Structure 1
Amino acid sequence: MKEKENVKNNIEVWEDIVSIKDLVMSLIICSVTTFVAYILAPNEPPKPLFFGLTGAIIGFIISSIFIKPKRIFIETNEEN
Structure 2
Amino acid sequence: MSDDEQYVEIWGDRVSLRDLVVALAVCAAATVAAVLVGRALGQDEFFWGLGGAVVGFGGAVALVRPKRDVQIVADDAPAEPGQPGRDPVA
Instruction: Give the TM bin, normalised by the shorter chain.
Output: 0.7 to 0.9
Runs in 1 of length 4+ with deviation above 4 angstroms? Answer: 74-80
Q: 1:34 aligns with which of 8, 11, 31?
A: 31
TM-score, normalising length: structure 2? 0.70
1:57 counterpart residue number: 54
- C-alpha root-mean-square deviation of aligned residues, in Å? 2.0
- Distance in 1 (alpha carbons) for counterparts of 2:35 and 2:51: 9
TM-score, normalising length: structure 1? 0.78
- Distance in 2 (alpha carbons) for counterparts of 1:55 and 1:20: 23
Unaligned runs of 5+ in 1: none
Instruction: Give the helix-richer structure, 1 or 2.
Output: 1
- Higher-Rg member (1/2): 2
Aligned residues: 74
User: Percent sequence identity over matched residues?
Assistant: 30
